[in-house]
A and B are shown apart, each in its own frame.
Chain A
Amino acid sequence: MSIGAAEIKGIARLARIAIDEADIARYAGQLSQILSYVEAMNAVDTTGVEPLAHAIDAIAVTRPDAVTEAVDRAALQAGAPQVQEGYYLVPRVIE
């Protein structure tokens, strides 16, 4: 599998990671190398094999719908980049 510059830009866009033009070729080379390597998986015929998402049989867990702890908003927001009156601030999204 060979990944080109346009694909790297597309993937980076999906992943919301800004990539410098100067780094695109390097990422393309490395991703191509990694994807070619993992394609070794194709040597195994897995027709009819049930995918395994989780090693231990996971069952949906529920708990009583009861208050167990109080959320301390000030403590949670202490490390936030920008807050005002309990709200997270971001650049204007609606003009």
Chain B
Amino acid sequence: MFAETVTDIAADLRARRYSSAEVTEHYLSRIAELDPALNAYITVCADQARADAARADALLARGEGGPLTGVPYANKDIFCTRGVRTSCASRMLDNFVAPYDATVVEKLSAAGMVMLGKTNMDEFAMGSSNETSWYGPVRNPWDRERVPGGSSGGSAAAVAARLAPAATGTDTGGSIRQPAALCGISGLKPTYGRVSRWGMIAFASSLDQGGPMALTAADLALLMNAMAGHCSRDSTSVERPDEDYTRLLPQSLAGLRVGLPTQYFAAGLDPALRAVIDAAVEQLRAQGAVTRPVELPHAAFAIPAYYVVASAECSSNLSRYDGVRFGHRCEEPRDLDDLYTRSRAEGFGDEVKRRILVGTYALSAGYYDAYYRKAQQLRRLIQQDFVTAFADVDVVLSPTTPTTAFEIGQKTDDPVTMYLSDIYTTAANLAGLPAMSVPAGFIEGLPVGMQLIGRYFDEARLLNVAHQYQQETAWHLARPPRT
């Protein structure tokens, strides 16, 4: 009875086939039924969602509202929401209720969307498996013994299991694209600066970027129309005119130049994964695209450079959690120093502490040049590689991840192996480029994602390629078992 995509639900609401109250109730009951096994949500806002849906229905009844009015969605629990706890999946913020809405939340509310709840994630967005959450791991809807990816794993699992038609995510090194790939949905990391970071809890400020996650590229385009835009409260927000991200969706792929990075298709790429990506490339060729190899000579250094930059910035950003003004405070501190050090020791989990320590070390006197400066120099070389590649091609295509979803617990004891999950995704963050993951097939019942990286501010082109691909394939509509 109810449609599953944002685009179709929006059309049904306008046609009054059902009300926002009805479709909201539908998702709330699915969450109540399925989420205890998946743990995709940290907080469900049933009462608020019902009130928002009633407001949306009143607008729709008067023929008012916008294209997204009345459509339910979920927010990653990293976006501040006035009156609803924002935990960032950390014990540190277990009791934190923001006194304001993040710009993204404010914009989606203004568009009339109905927030179902706040989704689970890796603690402070640090992780690739959603196992570092204070609220426990999220389970992949395709195989509940496996991880959904991270850090936006709750958002990805919620969309895949149809516990929300769309969700927000954030992507610092792949945290929208990697879980989108492992859960079989579509996700877009916009160009750095395109979506406001205000009210989005900071991890690594020069890399963090919010974006939409949904089943289809057309849905992502609609969400981007509401989410993106200049924000005077974010000093790194880019001043550019607003654009219609749906405008290129119908465009043919004839003549599209697709670059295949030699380094990403080298030996070491799993043959089964390669076969899936090759088939996707063949499909794009059948639709008129031409492919050519491109060189990203510094690709192998993206992860080392990323972990230095991200850890350094995280050690600085997370120094604000001092147990004084908000967040966790230890019991009966002996003195101020004890208050700081014990509150932080108790409030942060293992992975967060590890990264703060790595970042503190990399920034400490005597080591700055060897680590942080070196990483920033590599960052420039990585960016230049892409600038060179984009002289000859319109988009760069690769797998999103090196493997399908792995088992819960498999990589938790080995931080470096876990970091390698992001081998294809971190470069786009270092360079600030837009990138997305598109469902491209399955290996033994587990989804595979294809990554598309675009030129700066070329999100509409990425969405065009993904949408045209989705007109000829159905991977993005596959539904996990028992959902």
Q: Do A and B bind each other?
A: yes
Chain A residues with CB under 8 Å of chain B are: 3, 7-8, 11-12, 14-19, 27, 30-31, 33-35, 37-44, 46, 49-56, 58, 60-61, 63, 72, 75-82, 88, 90-93
Q: Render B161-200 as a binary contact track against A, CB cut-off 8 A, 1 for contact.
A: 0000000000000000000000000000001110000000
Q: Render B71-104 as a binary contact track against A, CB cut-off 8 A, 1 for contact.
A: 0000000000000000000000001110100000
Query: Which residues between 284 and 324 of chain B lie within 8 Å of chain A, taking CB atoms?
Result: 298, 300-301, 304-305, 307-308, 315, 319, 322-324
B329–A11 contact, CB under 8 A? no
- When chains A and B are docked, how far (Å) is the Cα of A33 from the Cα of B300? 18
- Closest residue on chain A to residue B333 by CB atoms: A91
Task: Note all chain A residues with C-beta closer than 8 A to B328.
Answer: 81
The distance from the CB of B47 to the nearest CB of chain A, in whole angstroms, is 20
The contact sample of 15 A-B pairs, CB cut-off 8 A, is A11-B360, A15-B357, A18-B338, A18-B344, A27-B353, A27-B354, A31-B357, A40-B301, A41-B304, A44-B301, A44-B378, A46-B381, A53-B206, A81-B326, A91-B336
A63–B232 contact, CB under 8 A? yes
User: Known contacts A11-B360, A34-B416, A90-B336: does B324 contact A55 (CB below 8 Å)?
Assistant: no
Task: Note all chain B residues with C-beta closer than 8 A to A30.
Answer: 354, 415
Interface residues on B, range: 35 or more
B339–A34 contact, CB under 8 A? no
A-binding segment of B120-128, B136-144, B368-376: B368-376
- Closest residue on chain A to residue B374 by CB atoms: A41
User: Known contacts A37-B304, A38-B308: does B432 contact A56 (CB below 8 Å)?
Assistant: yes
User: Known contacts A27-B354, A46-B381, A80-B325: does B339 contact A17 (CB below 8 Å)?
Assistant: no
Task: Note all chain A residues with C-beta closer than 8 A to B62.
Answer: none
Task: Note all chain A residues with C-beta closer than 8 A to B315.
Answer: 15
B326–A79 contact, CB under 8 A? yes
A91–B334 contact, CB under 8 A? yes
B364–A14 contact, CB under 8 A? yes
User: Known contacts A16-B340, A17-B348, A78-B97: does B304 contact A93 (CB below 8 Å)?
Assistant: no
The distance from the CB of A76 to the nearest CB of chain B, in whole angstroms, is 6
Q: Does B358 contact A (CB under 8 A)?
A: yes
- Closest residue on chain A to residue B318 by CB atoms: A15
Q: Which one, B301, B334, B356, B415, contacts A15 given CB within 8 A?
A: B356
Task: Note all chain A residues with C-beta closer than 8 A to B354.
Answer: 27, 30-31, 34
A79–B357 contact, CB under 8 A? no
- When chains A and B are docked, how far (Å) is the Cα of A56 from the Cα of B96? 32
- When chains A and B are docked, how far (Å) is the Cα of A37 from the Cα of B206? 22
Task: Note all chain B residues with C-beta closer than 8 A to A12.
Answer: 357
